[in-house]
């Protein structure tokens, strides 16, 4: 390994919080999982970018078995696509897939709103209001990745309040998928909806007005989908050392 590569690896070690080349473990895997998912959502790893196990193993200093488990987890969340004999790559959402995701969100999330309105408590409303505030602050500060994650977390928390764990799990997976779509095809500094949308939705839910909350959620999701600018990008092999040492 040349001097430049060694120096870059040292910076990478510091960034992902690892001391050296040995020792896989749950905490390390969690750190690496977040590093890769953040890079995808922040568009430092672009759609179609190949994620070679050997290169990631060298960059992060963990075994290929550990990297494989992390990539499999990302694949379950549809941030990564695993292809036989070709390996892993960042998922490249198509226009049809984006439409399917938002159609599914329309059917499920909107349908959950009456029950969420019935179960809404002052404590839950305050928690959601705090999440909406942090989302607005992240957008205002140019932290697009953080804003996208907070928006997804807001929708996931709403679904949990319905009391239907199965549907809430599905909504969270759809929101994870939406996060990639927004990161890739959305507009910087904007999530495709008004910054006060989540606050307005909370107002209807706190009033116990499930019908208006359902209609508002539908408009909210349609606005996000309408804001997307979907275009194809060339496949690339990224410089993993540069991405994870920045």
pLDDT in tens, 82-118: 999 889 999 988 889 999 999 999 999 999 999 999 9
Q: What are phi and psi of 80, to 5 degrees?
A: -125, 145
Q: Please determine, for residue 63, whether its predicted confidence score (pLDDT) is greater than 90.
A: yes
Partners of 82 in the β-ladder:
88
Q: State the pLDDT confidence band at 183, using cuts at 50, 70 and 90.
A: confident
| pLDDT tens digit sequence for 115-126 | 999 999 999 999
CA atoms within 13 A on the CB side of 77: 20
Give the pLDDT of residue 235: 58
Among the listed residues 180, 94, 109, 196, the one whose alpha carbon sits nearest the alpha carbon of residue 145: 180
What is the Cβ-side half-sphere exposure of residue 45, based on CA atoms within 13 angstroms?
Answer: 25
Q: Is the distance from CB of 9 to CB of 1 less than 8 angstroms?
A: yes
Q: At what angle do helices 26-41 and 64-76 cross, to 10 degrees?
A: 50
Distance of alpha carbon 31 from alpha carbon 35, whole angstroms: 6
């Amino acid at each position: 390994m040349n001097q430049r590569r060694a120096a870059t690896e040292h910076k990478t070690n510091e960034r992902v919080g690892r001391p050296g080349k040995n020792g896989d473990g749950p905490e390390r895997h969690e750190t690496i999982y977040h590093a890769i998912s953040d890079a995808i959502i922040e568009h430092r790893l672009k759609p179609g970018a190949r994620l070679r196990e050997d290169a990631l193993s060298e960059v992060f200093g963990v075994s290929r078995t550990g990297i494989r488990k992390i990539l499999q987890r990302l694949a379950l969340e549809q941030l990564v696509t695993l292809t036989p004999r070709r390996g892993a790559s960042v998922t490249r959402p198509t226009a049809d897939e984006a439409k399917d995701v938002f159609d599914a969100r329309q059917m499920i999330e909107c349908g959950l709103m009456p029950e969420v309105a019935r179960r809404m408590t002052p404590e839950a409303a305050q928690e959601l209001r705090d999440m909406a505030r942090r989302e607005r602050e992240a957008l205002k500060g140019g932290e697009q990745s953080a804003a996208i994650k907070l928006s997804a977390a807001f929708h996931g928390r709403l679904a949990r309040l319905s009391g239907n764990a199965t549907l809430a799990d599905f909504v969270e997976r759809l929101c994870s998928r939406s996060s990639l779509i927004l990161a890739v095809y959305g507009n910087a500094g904007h999530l495709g909806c008004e910054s006060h949308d989540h606050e307005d939705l909370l107002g209807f839910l706190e009033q116990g007005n499930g019908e208006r909350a359902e209609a508002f959620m539908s408009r909210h999701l349609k606005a996000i989908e309408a804001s997307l600018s979907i275009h194809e990008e060339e496949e690339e092999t990224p410089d993993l050392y540069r991405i994870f040492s920045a």
